[in-house]
Structure 1
Amino acid sequence: MSVDPKAETPNQRSDVHYYDDGDLLIIVEKTEFRVHKLLLKLASEMFRSMFACKVSQDGPLDNAKPIDSVVITDMTADEFNDILTFIYPHTILDISWSKLSYLLSIADKYIMMNLTEYCLRFLEANFLDRALDMLSLADRALTAFSLSDQHRSTFSFLYKESSKYVLDDIGLVFTNSLPVDLSNQTRNKLIEARCRYFETISSLSLDTLNIQTSPSGARVLKNGLAEICILPLQPPSVVWKKLHELFKKAHMDSLQDKLDAMVEELLGPYEIGTYDDSGNCYMFLEYQ
């Protein structure tokens, strides 16, 4: 028996989200989802607008009668299945890093505030595991998405916090590891911050620090700076801590405030890490 290669493959019903009492058939990539308009309208402003002129029938649904159908082409069947899993109260969406990009994009396009909030809760709890991915996601959200003030504030915070750990990875910025979808603005800011750090630390000396001290203190500082500035350069957080320890060793505790101001002037903005117990200070970027 020959098979016509042009014959279309029949649609398949979703194994998870095909409800006999559903009043809407949504088709995504040959997969049929029979769902309830009301739940979609409650979850998404776009669905609410889409069905604004549609009047649901009253009384029990007659399965013999045709129901409204919609074809969705801007996501895959698996992605839409995840969206429905989030929407329906009896199913729980298992969120992961691999899903975040499309979940946030769909949440933005379909105006699903609760889904954005759900993703943000995951990111706030897990962003240190994938700081570079977090920076890329926050960069994209702040650049391209229509965010509420609260969500914009949270993404800005995550952008700043994740940038600390990206900048603290000495080799990362100058390798091919930067995500291709990172905006030019953020990419350039990372490179500028890293170049400034390299240039500053490489040239540290008593002269550039412009510090007056005793001969013995000067020797301690000179030897300490030579160890700090040796190649390959150490991460900014480590250098900051060693500079403070060096000032103490040189009996210059009274100049700690001056060191704080000097480091910020030389390296750019920094602050104590929020999510670790090291007491380290980190350079960071802010989205503007």
Structure 2
Amino acid sequence: MAFSTSPTYSNKSSPTERLGKNEKIGRRSEIHFYDDGDVELTAENITFRIHKNILALSSQAFSGMFMSAKPTDEDLIISSTTGKSIPRIELRDDAAPDIEKLLSFLYPNTFFEISWDDVASLLRLADKYIVETLTSACVAFLKRSYQEEPLQALKLSEVYRISTVYKESSKLVLDNFEQFFYEPKNLIGLSRNTINKLKVSRQQYVEGLNKLYCVTVDRRFPPLATEHLRSKFEECVKDICTFPFQVPSYSWMKLHQVDCSKHFECREELRRLKPFINERITTFFGDYEPLAWSRSQPSNTPPPNTPEARYPFIELRDD
């Protein structure tokens, strides 16, 4: 049974020859070579003898192959430990260390923790062999860790259509736009569509900064409050619009920290202040959102009454 992107049975020697060649096919895996295993996987020059039930329960691709395909005599090898014939499956285009990590994730007797070093290869294997539990584990890792490598998280979430991670990682990429876009090689792996959406969002932010110069304070406020509010906006403009521009999350927080409470004569006027500021910010910059999954960092806890940082974002959809 042969697929260009799926496992394939592979052995062309006679049963007698196979008994003699059994040890010559490749090195045994030091972790996943079980004497009672009933199927062998080969990747590069490494042989894994494992259990068909574990593979079938974990992978829809292997389960479908075991149910629909029967190995011929040429696809079988003779186990030197049990003397029984077992199938050997060649895994094309897969690195042996990646298969070892996949099996370590599947087998209960081994422990494997996903990291940035292997999440890309594991997502590829999970997609190729339809291992839903591994896909879920990789997505959970990205949700926990996307703040460490937001650009890498954005690339992986686009390839594997993980819309939640795509949106959250885009917030941090846009918040550090110059850092990520300074080197063209950083953009390798992103589609033209995603790059364009990032650039459009960034342009909207820069245009919003320019509009701050023309802000007018609503006359519904008392004269003293109006004058103070105008001066506060002027401070914001000076702070966030001086090149190089402040990051969007900082600008959003700076604008929301405008405090004119002592200049209002009654609570009703003060209640109108926040909607006024929100209206201007939304008009200038569009909708911003906080991070959906933030790791608590007690040492960096903001002072009381400090607004939660919000970020621009893009979403995973075909525009």
Query: TM class by shorter-chain length?
Result: 0.7 to 0.9
Bigger CA drift: 72-81 or 162-171? 162-171
Q: Is residue 2:252 matched to residue 1:240?
A: yes
1:99 partner letter: D
1:211 partner letter: V
1:109 alignment partner, one of 120, 128, 152:
128
Q: Is residue 2:54 matched to residue 1:39?
A: yes
In the other structure, the counterpart of 2:201 is: 193
In the other structure, the counterpart of 2:216 is: 210
Q: Is residue 2:67 matched to residue 1:52?
A: yes
1:158 alignment partner, one of 155, 158, 165:
165
In the other structure, the counterpart of 2:21 is: none
Deviation of 1:62 after TM superposition, in Å, equals 6.7
CA contact (8 A) 2:181 2:187 kept: no
| CA 270–171 in structure 1, closer or farther in 2 if over 3 Å, else same | same
In the other structure, the counterpart of 1:13 is: 28
SS at match of 1:52: helix
In the other structure, the counterpart of 1:22 is: 37
Deviation of 1:77 after TM superposition, in Å, equals 0.5
Gaps of 5+ in 2: 1-23, 72-78, 265-269, 303-307
Provide TM-score, normalisation by structure 2. Answer: 0.74
In the other structure, the counterpart of 2:314 is: 285
1:240 partner letter: W
| CA 188–251 in structure 1, closer or farther in 2 if over 3 Å, else same | farther
Bigger CA drift: 273-282 or 187-196? 273-282
Deviation of 1:181 after TM superposition, in Å, equals 1.0
Q: Is residue 2:82 matched to residue 1:63?
A: yes
CA contact (8 A) 2:40 2:47 kept: yes
SS at match of 2:212: coil
How far, CA to CA, are the matches of 1:250 and 1:105 in structure 2? Answer: 58
Deviation of 1:194 after TM superposition, in Å, equals 1.0
| CA 30–228 in structure 1, closer or farther in 2 if over 3 Å, else same | closer
2:88 partner letter: S
Aligned-CA RMSD value:
2.6
| CA 189–53 in structure 1, closer or farther in 2 if over 3 Å, else same | closer
Bigger CA drift: 262-271 or 173-182? 173-182
How far, CA to CA, are the matches of 2:69 and 2:136 in structure 1? Answer: 29
| CA 39–224 in structure 1, closer or farther in 2 if over 3 Å, else same | closer
Deviation of 1:109 after TM superposition, in Å, equals 1.4
Q: Is residue 2:283 matched to residue 1:265?
A: yes
Provide TM-score, normalisation by structure 1. Answer: 0.82
In the other structure, the counterpart of 1:130 is: 149
Bigger CA drift: 217-226 or 88-97? 217-226
2:119 alignment partner, one of 93, 100, 103:
100
How far, CA to CA, are the matches of 1:283 and 1:227 in structure 2? Answer: 19
| CA 251–229 in structure 1, closer or farther in 2 if over 3 Å, else same | farther
CA contact (8 A) 1:220 1:250 kept: no
| CA 266–86 in structure 1, closer or farther in 2 if over 3 Å, else same | same
Once the two structures are superposed, what CA deviation does each residue of 1:248-288 show, in whole Å capped at 9, x if it has no partner? Answer: 38958533212213222321221234426551121112222
Once the two structures are superposed, what CA deviation does each residue of 1:162-203 show, in whole Å capped at 9, x if it has no partner? Answer: 221111114135322634111222111111111221222134
SS at match of 2:202: helix
How far, CA to CA, are the matches of 1:210 and 1:257 in structure 2? Answer: 15
Deviation of 1:44 after TM superposition, in Å, equals 0.3
In the other structure, the counterpart of 1:5 is: none
Give the aligned length.
263
SS at match of 1:26: strand
CA contact (8 A) 1:221 1:250 kept: no
Bigger CA drift: 214-223 or 159-168? 214-223
1:21 partner letter: D
